[in-house]
Amino acid sequence: MSQALNSEKPETILSVRNLRKFFGINRAAARKMLQEGAGKSDILKRTGVTVAIDDVSFDVERGKIFALIGLSGSGKSTVVRCVNMLQRPTSGQILFEGRDIVHMDKKELYELRRSKISMVFQSFGLMSHRDVMGNVAYGLDVRGIGKGDRERKAMEMIELVGLEGWAHKPIGDLSGGMKQRVGIARALCNDPDLLLMDEPFSALDPLARRDMQFELLSIQKKLGKTIVFITHDINEAFKMGDTVGIMRDGRIEQLGAPTELALSPANDYVKEFLGSIDKTKVLSVRHIMITPSCLIREQADPVTAIREMRVNDVSTAYVIGRKMEFIGILALNAALQARHDNLPSVASVITRDVPNVEQNVLIGDIIGLASETPFPLAVLDDRGRLEGIVSRAAILSCLL
Ligand SMILES: Nc1ncnc2c1ncn2[C@@H]1O[C@H](COP(=O)(O)OP(=O)(O)O)[C@@H](O)[C@H]1O
Ligand SMILES: [Mg+2]
């Protein structure tokens, strides 16, 4: 409960600072070449050292998903392996709940992996001679938890991941997606604060994969776990990550929320990398709405309305009421007709049933609506006041 109450306030659970990992003997020479600006492949050729991670820093907030993405060999796995010290960093800090795990002794590390940080692997890493229950309860077994308690806890996790009825089936009977559910249940059984997932869904077929993404998001929502999620699929990274880091050659090219990356990629590499994302699932109305250039009062007389539209060079104006509430759209033709008919105001010629949307709706969810209406959609706040408009062109450009 207290966790839920605190969840408003961001808290950094993991802070990786200037992390470096070189593989090879001649690391001093490699470091020198790096300082002189040499590239990874030159360094490998000349010194035999692989620069797997070069000065990586990022923070992960408690209860959030941090997605790390990059091509194969860009250093993603090495980052997560350093975070639970399966690999010792060449330099840098890994602050977990404020403590640098690089300097922990064996016993502390053992404790950390047993109760604070769990890992889920792409290859599932299950024991085929044990059944589902035996795999999920394994960690608790190792900790010496009695059979009754560990099986109760394990069953809870088995149900959480949607495997009720499968507890006593052999691993060999399970599909890939189900095996990964077991992997997740096993990782959750220790009730860790941080879950490390290294391409957990990459071995699954696309349908099972989508299923598991959805499943993991709902488990995460339920349990509020912090997750570092590795993937090489940009759409998966954007779907899962509250924050996304894009890696290239051992460095992070850009860090940010999916919307930030989509709206302002830091460089051409990121831009190209994001090329295949579906922007309609990332951007919402507020990212593409614009301010209407011509606003008219409902009681305006036709001559004033026409003058306003001419000044602003538009053929439709947005009509608002006394409290800024949105009334509808006035077409230039209708205003001209009103003037011709000597009407006292434009009130009777306004188009009033204009579809409207809220700022936070995803663009993907308004494509249908936009394609059915001839004018831009009105963006209204919760009191019905006009905040902006979304043109069809703006919506279409997100589809490109
Ligand atoms: N144990 C190791 N020994 C030597 N080189 C390694 C080792 N592990 C990873 N590397 C190298 O480090 C780089 C980053 O690898 P990795 O972290 O596995 O990338 P990713 O997970 O993004 O595919 C690669 O060039 C890889 O060959
Ligand atoms: Mg990897």
Phi then psi for residue 86, to 5 deg, are: -70, -25
For strands 91-96 and 99-100, give the pairing. antiparallel
137-157 pLDDT, tens digit each: 998 998 889 999 999 999 999
pLDDT grade, residue 163 (50/70/90)? Answer: very high
Q: What whole-number percentage of the chain has pLDDT above 90? A: 74
The residue whose CB lies within 8 Å of the most ligand 1 atoms, and thus the one to mutate among 78, 232, 249, is 78
The residue whose CB lies within 8 Å of the most ligand 1 atoms, and thus the one to mutate among 20, 21, 23, 45, is 23
How far is residue 210's CA from residue 267's CA, in Å, rounded to a whole number? 29
Ligand whose nearest atom lies closest to the CA of 52: 1
278-324 pLDDT, tens digit each: 888 888 999 899 988 899 999 999 999 999 999 999 999 999 998 88
- Give yes or no for residue 253 having a pLDDT over 90: yes
Q: What is the pLDDT of residue 3?
A: 46
142 close to 189: Cβ distance less than 8 angstroms: no
- Per domain, the residue ranges of the chain are 2-18+59-116+192-277, 286-399
For residues 112 and 276, which has the higher predicted lDDT (pLDDT)? 112
| Cα 234 to ligand 2 centre (Å) | 15
Closest-CA residue, ligand 1 atom 10, reads 52
Question: Candidates 3.40.50.720, 1.10.3470.10, 3.40.50.300, 1.10.10.10; correct CATH number of 2-18+59-116+192-277?
Answer: 3.40.50.300
The mean of the pLDDT values for the chain is: 91
Q: What is the pLDDT of residue 8?
A: 62
CA-based nearest residue to 229, from 119, 89, 86, 93? 119
370 close to 390: Cβ distance less than 8 angstroms: yes
92-124 pLDDT, tens digit each: 999 999 999 999 999 999 999 888 999 998 877
pLDDT grade, residue 4 (50/70/90)? Answer: very low
| Cα 30 to ligand 2 centre (Å) | 22
- Give yes or no for residue 5 having a pLDDT over 80: no
72 lines ligand 1 (CB under 6 A): yes
How is residue 325 written in tokens? Answer: 């509430």
17-54 pLDDT, tens digit each: 999 999 999 999 999 999 999 989 999 999 999 999 99
Ligand 1: atom nearest CA of 230 is 21
The 3-state DSSP class for residue 255 equals strand
Ligand 1: atom nearest CA of 78 is 17
77 lines ligand 1 (CB under 6 A): yes
The CATH superfamily of 286-399 is: CBS-domain (3.10.580.10)
How far is residue 121's CA from residue 330's CA, in Å, rounded to a whole number? 59
